[in-house]
Amino acid sequence: MEPNLLPDERIDQLYGADIKIIQSKTVFSFSLDAVLLADFANPDRTRRGLTVDLCAGNGAVGLFFSPKTKGQIKMVEIQPRLADMARRSISLNGLATQAEVLTMDLNDVTTVIRPDSAAVVTCNPPYFVDAPTSQKNPNEHYAIARHELTTTLADVINAASGLLKMTGHAYFVFRPDRFLEMMTLLQAARLAPKRLQFVYPKPGREANMFLVDAIKDGKINGLKVLPPLTVADNEGNYVGHVRELLYGNEAQ
């Protein structure tokens, strides 16, 4: 059954995961970073452990990750409008028995989700520090998603650590200019980086994203840097694995 859409909403599809999602150009639309994070993240070995997605937005990461796991998925989003979009997308994909959206501040998440209970935590956090001189989107929804207005990188990482059981995995996508800051915060929160992949927009360009997999209470050595991931060719056409994620079999 098709959901009730507000006037500014549409339904998009990620063909690689066979997932439909409610989007809004005036409120929130997922970006490629959400697709890459959901692909980069792995379920626990049993594929039945709890997954928590922080800063969930309209539910993109949790929805795109859902085909990988049979376990419960809890999405945490502070903005009611975005949380509502995520809930309707969950229903649209028939995932109501698997996925749930919690409309709340992630700093309070362990009052609802038991500490040390999650096998996997994913997060696509706000990228930009809330500095007095920083230019913010006049649209409040986009401003909160992009700038640290309601949370900080440290808050996100500490929340992830508090949720994870020992040897659970936290997966993040973030900007390279804050790479060292993230690595420092991860280790301070008992999260040992184990896999790292840099993402490049086109050949010959500098990386504009990185993906990291960190294990709670893991050993600090053993970091693996994966081959670089290039998003598009010089004409802007999606290529390789990224094209397959976005378009599935239609990419052939």
Q: Find the CATH number of the domain harbouring 61.
A: 3.40.50.150
Residue 213 domain flag: yes
Cβ atoms of 169 and 42 closer than 8 Å: yes
Total domains present in the chain: 1
Give the pLDDT score at 142: 43
Residue 119 domain flag: yes
Residue 2 domain flag: no
pLDDT in tens, 146-155: 544 568 999 9
Rg (CA), the chain: 17
Give the pLDDT score at 2: 72
Residue 181 tokens, joined: 């800051």
Only one residue has tokens 């840097």, namely 225
Residues 122 and 39: their CA atoms lie apart, in Å, by 11
Please provide the average confidence, as pLDDT, over all residues in the chain: 91
Residue 66 domain flag: yes
Residues of the chain with pLDDT under 70: 1, 128-150, 250-252
pLDDT in tens, 31-75: 999 999 999 999 999 999 999 999 999 999 999 999 999 999 999
Residue 185 domain flag: yes
CA neighbor of 183 nearest in space, from 229, 223, 238, 135: 223
Domain containing 53 equals 9-251
Residue 1 domain flag: no
Residue 3 domain flag: no
Cβ atoms of 83 and 53 closer than 8 Å: no
Helix, strand or coil, per DSSP, at residue 86: helix
Whole-angstrom CA distances from 59 to 1, 12, 35, 213 are 19, 13, 11, 20
Number of alpha carbons in the 13 Å side-chain half-sphere of residue 70: 4
Give the pLDDT score at 135: 54
Helix, strand or coil, per DSSP, at residue 190: coil
Give the pLDDT score at 248: 87
Residue 211 domain flag: yes
pLDDT in tens, 119-138: 999 999 987 555 455 554 55
